[in-house]
Each structure stands twice: as structure tokens, then as C-alpha cells.
Structure 1
Amino acid sequence: MSSKTSVFTLLDIGRSLQRMVSAHYHKPYWIKTEIAKLNYYDKSGHCYPDLVEKQNGQILAQMRATIWADNYQNISKQFLNLAKKPLSEGMTVLILAKVNYHPNYGFSLNIIDIDASFTLGEMAREKQESLKRLKSEGIYDLNRSMSSPKLPQRIAVISVQTSKGYQDFINIISKTYAHFNFEIELFPALLQGDKAITSIAKALESIENTKDDFDVVTIIRGGGGDVGLSCYDSFILASKVARFPLPVVTGIGHSTNETLVELVAFKNKITPTDVAYYFIAAFQNCFDELKALTNHFETKVDGMLKEKNQELLNLHKEFKTQVNTLLKTHDYELKAQKQRIKSNLPSLVLSRLDGLEQLKYRMDWLVKNKLHNQEDQLLLYFKSIQREAKSTTKQQHQELDYLSKSLDLLSPERLLKRGYTLNLLGDKIITSTTKLKTGDRLKTIFADGYAESDVVKIQTDEKN
């Protein structure tokens, strides 16, 4: 290095660049960019966005920026009023910014203002592109063209349990019209902001896993105006709703500029209350149809009953006429028969009397003959019974005599006289030495008295 070579410090270069930037970029510029990260700090109110420019997914340029608290508050209000959503990441914006360079912090853009109408136009353009894509892929009409459930009783609800819209929906459908017995299951999800896309998609996936348990799905959101509804223009969310295997009914609370999700849904109702009455109307229509059918049925039955009643009256008259005619015919025939009987009765009676007289003589002979035979038979029976009775009586006397002699031989008195004794222990007869123990007092009975003795020794017969 020669002695004439200039040497600069890093600060010198930094200050030189700072002067050049200040001289050449002394006014603010309108810049189109995308917010990669917002980097907002609640405590200070300042915002430090990371800005990028992309093409085909590739980053062509990136730069840091600052939005001081006062400017950020004004810009946020404009976005909420015009774009109906807060400033957020991933948004394409047109910013008014000053180019700054600081030796310590480098290049940055100080954002003074953001054109909300430009972002609104970008959002509209992206919505139209997504709409065209939905139609070109053939899914735009999928959910809208599904068959409407006759009675949407089992309803899967995507909402926030604490929201007023959900509470209004429940109060109407489950309390005011509780007699329709709706089955409601809540699938909680975020309903606005960028994170709502993923949250609602997950809720739809959970419902799809148990789709056989439901007839219809509804996405309801109460309050909040139109702020944060850009998530419903997401192609991802709209395509998921369009392809969903159950009818999807929306009620996200605004009446103009339908979002993509509302456009592809089976049915779009403005508020959760409208959704509730939509489901109720299906039941009410069915109820009215049943009522009309009931009235028609009752009228038809009344007419048929009157017609059949008249037919019965006619049949009754015809039957009565035929019966009267038949009775008259039979009455005439009976009178004729009576006259014939009256004419033929004398000869018939005499003929019957002769037959009865002959029958009487025959019966008398048969009875007398039968009685004679019975008397002979009874006499034979009587003699036979007498013989058997005498024989049986004699045999019984012989058996009794034998038993009496046997008993006499076995009587205790005769046994005692023959030398046998009877030993008692107390009042019990002793028949075995096993019933005794040493010291027991025995009473020995003889034919002419008794003696008492004490047991001194017990000897058991080994054979026994």
C-alpha cells in the first residue's frame, strides 16, 4: 500500500452513504411490496415489517421497514374501515415510504402511509383468480349441487362456543324449537383472521372422519361486522368446503360481497339466526306436509266411510226385502205342510200305535227273560262267595293261632323263667359291652326279682 492510498473507517463509509441517500431520496415514494412479517410490538405500539418482493416463489428483494406508533394506528384504522381486515402478514400492499440509511442500522424504509384501496383491489383480484380456479377445476358446484337432506336433524356446527351468534343459534334451535329434537355437536374453531383458514379446515377434517353421524354442516359466526372475513376468500378453504361430502350451510354475518366459501357452500344464510330458521323450516315444511296429508287422509276416509255407509244401507234394504220374500215363501210352504200332516195324521197315528203295541209285547218278554237269567247268575255268585268266605276264615284262624303260640314262647316272662336275665343301665337295656364303662351300676332282672351290681372289669369278646 502506498503512502498516498486513502483509508476510510466503516463509519466514514456509513455516513457517506447516509448523505448520498438523503440527497438523492429526499422525498417519499410509493412502493409495491409484500409483508413477510409484521413484527408489531404491543408495548411500544411500533411496527417493524419485513418486506419482500417475489416472483414465481423466489425472493427478488427484501428490506426492513418501520412504522411508528402514530402512523400504525392511523393505517390500521384505514384498513379496518376500507379493507375490512387488519394489516397482516402475506398481504400485498402499496406503501408510501421514505428511504433511510443509518450507519448502525443499515437501509430501511420508514412507512408513512399504506393505500388500503390498493390492497382491497389486490384482494378482489386474488378472489377472482381463485373463483376462476374453482370453476376451471370443476369443484365450484360440487357442494351446491348436493341433495338437500329432507330432515337435517344431526348438525355439526363450526363456531366458537362463547360467541353470541352460536348462543343465538342454540337458543332458537334447541330451546324454542326443542320439540324437533335436533342433535347438535360443536366443533370449535377460529372464525376470523389468517389462522381461521387452518382452524376451520381442521374442524372440517374432524367432521369428515365421522361424516356418517351427521346430516349437514354449518359454519356460523356472530358479530364483528365484515372485519376479518378475507379468510373466507381463501382458495384452500373454499375448495375444502366445495369438496366436502356433506352439505355446508354458512352464516358468517354479513349481507354484501359474498366470500368464496359462501359462493361454493350448499346454502348461504346471512346470520346464525337465519341458519337456525333454515333448518327449522325444513322440519316445519315436513310437518306442514304431514298435516296436509293428514287432512287429505281424513277427508278421503270420511268420504269413503260415507260411501261405504250408503252401500251398507242399500245392502240392508236389499237383504231385508229378500228375507221378507223368503219368510213369506217358507210360511206358505209350512202352511201347506201343516195341512198335509193334518190330512194324513189319523192313518199315520193308527199305524204307529200298532207298531208300538207289538214293541211293548216284545219288550215285556225280553225283560222277564233277562231278569230270570240274572237271578240264576246271582244265586251262583252267592254260593261261590259263601264257600270262599268259609275257607278264608278258617285259614285266618289257623294263622292267628300259630302267631299267638309264637308270641307266648318269646315273651320276657317265659325267657326269664328259663334262666335268662335282663341287664339295665338306668332305664336302658344293655346289649353290648361297648355301652358300659368301669364303675357303672347295673340292674339285673330275674324271673323272681332283681339285683344291683357295679362294673369292675369289662372284657370284650375278640370274635365279636
Structure 2
Amino acid sequence: METISLSRLNEFVRRVIALNFDDPVWIVAELLQIKESKGHYYIELAEKSDQGDIIAQSSAVIWKPNYGLIKKSLSADIFTILKEGNQIKVQVLVDYHPRFGLKLNIQKVDESYTLGKILQQKIQTIDRLKKENLWQINRTLELPIIIQNLAVITSMTAAGKIDFENQLMSNPFGYQFRLSYYPAAMQGLQTETEVSQAIININEQEVTPFDGIVIVRGGGSKLDLMDFDTYQISKQIGLSALPVLIGVGHHIDESVADMNAFASLKTPTAVAEYIINHNRLAEENVIKTMESIRFYGSQIISTYAIELRHIKESLNTSFINIKYTEQQKIIRYKNKLYNLVQQFIQNKFTTLLQLDHKIKINDPSIFYQKGYSLLFQHEKPITSIHELDLSDPMITKLKDGSVLSQPIKIWQNQKSN
């Protein structure tokens, strides 16, 4: 058997490939990795089985001159297509170098294939959330009337964090806010895991209850926005007991997380304005309520003042009528009392006359004038012989004097038949 050198073998392989793949071919594969160096993009492509195992893998490259042509040919952001994890369809020239091996030189990119896959993945994610009753559940929650205490998920070095914080804290109304930061990657492979875990940690917080959750980042490409299309982030938004306000800095496209959150704003600054306006609206409602209370209070006071005036006038009229009626009663009572007093006096005068007559007819001097006398013993008048004591003297009073005598004998008057 003939022995050949490695270079000869590789040259033979090169010729076979060149002979069989002299024209570009279209292939579909998953983009495992992409790196840039001096304007060239080095890519790892793979095909996986249904179980997720890699069954084929090759290196590919987009040379700098070709990168510009491909970018111009795409309507979407090139990195929306060329993102790790995406299924892509590319036209390649199969090139084999005896030293560097097989290399696929990418000539064209079919964006419709990848965008379709991305859209399909978004639809599948939304359908899954709906089946699990986690789709837009967060939108049924309510923010408190006044927002003060917020949990903020963001990258601590991102410009979006600074924009959000400055806009919120320097509001012209003097509203005060308490912000608690939960750091997380806002782009790249760790975004899904870190953002999801941050939402879980916030909802498990018991010491400081939050009014809501804010997720912000500063700007970014459509490629970066795809990190918020993942299932886990939207799942945790659906499970959250707190309203989630999201502003991930993209003015055109909308992620699954945007659609599933309580409120989606385009930028961190817009999220801050949303919160400020929420509190401002609450303050205006309080002011309007106070003004309404003051207005209706004035109306009520005015109404009651009129009623009181009518009551006063009615009372004055009633008082005059009552006063007149009572005065008439007093006059009648006075006249009646006068008549009663006159009658009483007349009756008493008549009684006095009668008593005077009795006194006069019973006056002893009158008895004496008629020849009668009064008999006393022991200084007591004697009206019967049975009252006399024969052992003691007695006094007989006459009209012009008294006689002291001693009773000798007592006899009783004879009753005539």
C-alpha cells in the first residue's frame, strides 16, 4: 500500500472539494459563536439532533469586504440575524486549506429565514405563556396611588441606569423615591438567567415591600432586544406579584417581555417620566378633590345659610305670633286673677262682717247692759252648777264691778213640763 504525506492528502481533499463545490451552496445551521477581529467575523456553525446533541460542526467566516455587502443587503440589523443561538440560512463557498482545514466562506444571508425562526420562537413563547395563564397577567395588577419604593433591575454600569435615576430624582415636583438596585446583565447569554432571578428575589423580599419593579437598560441593537424574548423572563413577569415597568431602550421593536409587562416604555427616561406622571396625576386628583370639597362645602354652607335665614325669619314671625298669643293669655289670666282676688276679698270681707257681728253679740259688756252677770271660780268661767266648788269663793262680774261671795247651797232648776 502506498504511503502519502499529510500535505498530499490534504491537497487531494482540497481538489475533491473544489471539484464538487465549485459553486456557492445554501445551508441552514445554528450559529454557536461569533467573534470579530479586524473587521472579519469568525463564526461557528452547528447542526443539532432533536435531543440537542451536536451532530455536525464547521467554522465559517465573513471577510471584511463581504461583511459590508451583506449588511447593506439586509433590511434588519445584521446582528439580529447573526446572533448566537439563532437558526440561520447562509450561502457559502466551501473552501479547504491544506493547513487550516475546512472553512465556509459566507457570501449571503437569508434574513427572511432567520426572522421567521425568531418570530416563530416569539409566537411559541407567547403561546406557552398563554397556556400557563402567565400572559399579560401582570397588566391586571395595580400600582399604588403614590409610587415611592422601587426595585430596579439593571446593569450598574449602564447609561440607562444613570438616565433613569437622574430623571426620577431631579423631577420638578420634588417627589422623593427610594430605589433598591438588583444588578443583572442587560445583554448577552446571562441576561435571561440574571433578570429572571432578580425578579424572583424581589418578589421574595419581605423586609421592604416594593411598589413595583423597574427593568431598564440604555439603548442597544435589535439583537440585544431579543434577550427579552426569552421564556423565563416573561414567565417571572407573569408570576410577579408586583407591577413590572420595562424600558429597554428600543424605539421600534417590541419584545415578549415588553408585551407581557404591566407597562412598556421605550427608554429608561420614559419609565421615569411615567412614574413621575403617575404621582403627579395622583396629586392633581387630590387637589381636585380638595377643590371639589371646598366648592361643594361652600355651596352647602351657602344653602344652609339661606335656610337658616328663612328659619330665623320664620322664627321671628312665629315668636311675634306666640308673643301676642301669650300676651293675650296673660291679660286674660290677669283679668281672671283680678276678679278672683276681688271675689276672694269680698268673701273674706263678708266673713269678717259676720265674725264682727258674732263678736259684738257675744261681747260681755252687752250682756252686762242687759242685766246679766258672769260667774268665775278659780279664774274660770262657771257655766253649770256642777262646776262650782262650795268650799272656795267665787267672783260675780257685773256691768260696773265685781262681787266676791261664798257659795252656801246649790240647787238645780226644775224642768217645766
TM-score by length of 1: 0.62
Quick one: distance in 1 between partners of 2:106 and 2:201? Answer: 43
Distance in 1 (CA, whole Å) between partners of 2:36 and 2:79 is 22
| 1:302 equivalent in alignment to 2:298 | yes
Determine if contact 2:214/2:245 at 8 Å carries over to the other structure: yes
Matches within 5 A, 1:211-222: 213-222=209-218
Report SS of the residue matched to 1:253: coil
**Is residue 88–residue 113 contact of structure 2 (8 Å, CA) maintained in 1?**
yes
Q: State how far apart, in whole Å, the 2-side matches of 1:70 and 1:34 are.
A: 24
CA distance in structure 1 between the partners assigned to 2:171 and 2:244 by the alignment: 23
> Which of 97, 105, 108 is matched with 1:110 structurally?
105
- Residue 271 of structure 1 deviates from its aligned partner by 3.0
Amino acid at match of 2:58: M
Query: Who is 2:149 aligned against?
Result: 154
Instruction: Give the C-alpha shift of residue 35 in structure 1.
Output: 1.9
RMSD of the TM alignment (CA)?
Answer: 3.7
The answer on whether the counterparts of 1:234 and 1:260 sit within 8 Å (CA) in structure 2 is yes
Which residue of 267, 271, 288 maps to 2:267?
A: 271
More deviation, 262-271/110-119: 110-119
For 2:49, the aligned partner's letter is Q
CA 1:238–1:197 in 2, change beyond 3 Å: closer, same or farther?
same
1 CA distance for matches of 2:126 and 2:173? 39
Counterpart CA distance in 1 for 2:273 and 2:116 is 35
In structure 2, what is the equivalent of residue 173 of structure 1? Answer: 168
1:49 matched to 2:43: yes
Structure 1 unmatched runs, 5+: 348-464
Residue 65 (structure 1) aligns with:
60
Change in CA separation of 1:97 and 1:150 when aligned onto 2, cut-off 3 Å: same
- Output the amino acid matched with 1:221: R
Q: Matched residues in 2 for 1:53 and 1:63: separation?
A: 9
Alpha-carbon spacing, 1:62–1:123, altered in 2? closer, same or farther (3 Å): same
Alignment counterpart, residue 205 of structure 2, candidates 201, 210, 216: 210
Q: Report the Cα offset of residue 237 of structure 1.
A: 1.8
Q: 1:249 to 1:9 in 2, by over 3 A?
A: same
The offset of 1:61, in angstroms, is 1.3
Name the CA shift for 1:182/1:308 in 2 (closer, same or farther; >3 Å).
same
Corresponding residue of 1:143: 138
The equivalent of 1:260 in structure 2 is 256
Which amino acid in structure 2 is aligned with residue 142 of structure 1? I
Q: Which residue of 1 aligns with 2:195?
A: 200
Counterpart of 1:290? 286
Q: Does 1:232 align with 2:228?
A: yes
Q: Which residue in 2 is equivalent to 1:391?
A: none
**CA shift in 2, pair 1:157/1:32, >3 Å:** same
- Give the Å deviation of 1:45: 4.5
| Residue 12 to residue 270, structure 1, CA distance change in 2 (3 Å) | closer
1:86, 1:228 within 8 Å by CA — same for their partners in 2? no
Which amino acid in 2 is paired with 1:183? R
Q: Does the 8 Å contact 1:28/1:98 carry over to 2?
A: yes
Q: Give the conservation status (yes or no) of the 8 Å contact 1:193–1:230.
A: no
Distance 1:220 1:325, change over 3 A: farther
Return the alpha-carbon distance in structure 2 between the equivalents of residues 255 and 80 of structure 1.
16
In 2, distance between residues paired with 1:36 and 1:225? 19
Structure 1 counterpart SS, 2:280: helix
- 1:27 aligned to 2:23? yes
Measure how far apart 1:214 and its partner are. Answer: 0.9
Aligned-pair distance for 1:263? 1.2
Question: What pairs with 1:67-106 in structure 2 (closer than 5 Å)?
Answer: 67-72=62-67, 75=70, 81-83=76-78, 85=80, 87-106=82-101
Equivalent of 1:127, from 122, 131, 137? 122
- Secondary structure at the residue paired with 1:85? helix
Instruction: Check whether the contact 1:80–1:227 (CA below 8 A) recurs between aligned residues.
Output: no
Q: Is 1:153–1:182's contact at 8 Å kept on the other side of the alignment?
A: yes
For residues 75 and 227 of structure 1, the distance between their equivalents in structure 2, rounded to whole angstroms, comes to 16
The one-letter amino acid of 1:62's match is Q
Q: Which amino acid aligns with 2:80?
A: K
Q: Which amino acid aligns with 1:223?
A: G
Q: Residue 240 of structure 2 aligns to which amino acid in structure 1?
A: F
Q: Is the CA contact (8 Å cut-off) linking 1:215 and 1:246 kept in structure 2?
A: yes
Deviation at 1:28, TM superposition (A): 2.1
Against the structure 1 CA distance between its residues 183 and 63, is the aligned structure 2 distance closer, same or farther, given a 3 Å change threshold?
Answer: same
Q: Secondary structure at the match of 2:142?
A: coil
TM-score by length of 2: 0.68
Distance 1:317 1:10, change over 3 A: closer
> Aligned residue for 2:357?
none
Which protein has greater RCO, CA pairs closer than 8 Å, 6+ apart?
Answer: 2
- In the alignment, the residues of structure 2 paired with residue 76 and residue 213 of structure 1 have an alpha-carbon distance, to the nearest angstrom, of 48
After TM superposition, the runs of 4+ consecutive aligned structure 1 residues lying more than 6 A away are 76-80, 333-340, 342-345
**Equivalence for 2:245:** 249
Q: 1:349-368 maps to which residues of 2 (within 5 A)?
A: none
Provide the C-alpha distance between the structure 2 equivalents of 1:267 and 1:132, rounded to a whole number of angstroms. Answer: 20
Q: Distance in 2 between matches of 1:68 and 1:226?
A: 23
Identity in percent: 27
Query: How far is 1:53 from its partner?
Result: 0.4
1:442-457 equivalences in 2 (<5 Å):
none
Q: Choose 199-208 or 122-131, whichever is displaced more.
A: 199-208
Amino acid at match of 2:181: L
Closer, same or farther: CA 264–326 of 1 in aligned 2, 3 Å: same
Q: State which of 2, 8, 14 in structure 2 corresponds to 1:12.
A: 8
Give 1:282 shift.
Answer: 2.9
